[in-house]
Amino acid sequence: MRILVTGSTGLIGSALVPFLTSQGHEIIRLVRSKPKPGSNEFQWDPLAGVIDPAALTGIDVVIHLAGENIAGRWTAEKKARIRDSRVKGTQTLCKTLIQMTQPPRVGVFASAVGYYGNRGDEILREESPPGSGFLAEVCREWEAATEPAAQKGIRVVRLRIGIVLSPAGGALAAMLPAFKIGAGGPIGGGKQYVSWITLDDLTMVIDHVIKTETLQGPVNAVTPNPVTNAEFTKTLGKVLGRPTALPMPAFAARLAFGEMANELLLASTRVEPARLLASGYTFRYPHLEGALRHLLGN
């Protein structure tokens, strides 16, 4: 198949593109910088609503991963970039798709478990209502921006992705330096649930949803075994062979990270991948200790 990918240089895209290429697919990259000569890259400006039309010729599948990194202190400018990069980028892409005489059959659009907001120990499935807060609002708008593509007849899958575990980047990579020297510990009370997935499983989930005709709409991309922050901390320490006795109190997290602390570090999302499991997907790394041992080689 001929597959268009945005966000191909990010954490997920950097693993997904080689994986799909190894499956025999032709990958077309949509990039914001000037395309490299002789490459399968085409330029777009998601905020200005501009896409090189040549990028979409003969496309079978679109995978949209692009978006501003949510890590860091959320200033007003940062929040605007987080929202605009996701919502306007998706609007630009879908506006172009619905104008095509032969649109792709499938569109896989990244979203996030932030859709559900802070929900304590409530078990959250795809039919669960959205939560409140900045990330939940962004996710609702982000997913709504895909609706024109669905109305066009494209099979749209909205992947609500949890914390992606990889030593190459993201949350795990940020935690490792402190944990390796024994300076890690739970955040806040440690009772908040963390819904996670390994980068390996996520690439295979994307491949699975492309191939599975019955999957459309929201799909939770997390393992069936979420853990509390305290359990995550204890397990990571066990795998690394390091103590985890230095907790970060909630007030310290808020002082260091501001609003991001409330919505990312202290929020609880206990998400179940109901639709993936019903469709027959088998997780390669469903349990945290085995996943971390695989990722860290311990």
What are 77-88's pLDDT values in tens digits?
999 999 999 999
C-alpha 61/C-alpha 1 separation (Å) is: 8
Contacts of 237 (CB under 8 A, 6+ apart): 179, 184, 243, 244
Q: Quote the pLDDT of residue 71.
A: 87
3-state secondary structure at position 105: coil
Beta bridge partners of 107: 62, 156
Q: Which CATH architecture has domain 2-296?
A: 3-Layer(aba) Sandwich (3.40)
3-state secondary structure at position 222: coil
The yes-or-no verdict on residue 76 having pLDDT over 90 is yes
Percent of the chain predicted with pLDDT > 90: 86
Beta bridge partners of 218: 158
pLDDT tier, 94 (very low <50, low <70, confident <90, very high otherwise): very high
Q: Quote the pLDDT of residue 53.
A: 82
Q: Quote the pLDDT of residue 146.
A: 97
Tell me what the pLDDT averaged over the chain comes to. Answer: 95
Mean pLDDT confidence for 276-294: 98
Mean pLDDT confidence for 223-252: 94
Contacts of 120 (CB under 8 A, 6+ apart): 193, 268, 270
229-240 vs 288-296: helix axis angle to the nearest 10? Answer: 40
Q: Quote the pLDDT of residue 222.
A: 98
Domain map (residue ranges) of the chain: 2-296
* Residue bearing the bigger pLDDT, 39 or 58: 58
Identity of the amino acid at 240? L
The yes-or-no verdict on residue 38 having pLDDT over 80 is no
pLDDT tier, 257 (very low <50, low <70, confident <90, very high otherwise): confident
Question: Per the structure block, which two tokens stand in for 105?
Answer: 């059959």
C-alpha 171/C-alpha 174 separation (Å) is: 5
Residues 157 and 209: beta-carbon distance below 8 Å: yes
pLDDT for 194-231, tens place per residue? 999 999 999 999 999 999 999 999 999 999 999 999 99
Mean pLDDT confidence for 171-192: 94
Mean pLDDT confidence for 35-49: 88
Mean pLDDT confidence for 177-191: 93
Mean pLDDT confidence for 189-195: 96
Residue showing tokens 């409140």? 132
C-alpha 287/C-alpha 133 separation (Å) is: 29
- Chain centre to alpha carbon of residue 24: 24
C-alpha 35/C-alpha 30 separation (Å) is: 9
Contacts of 212 (CB under 8 A, 6+ apart): 279, 280, 281
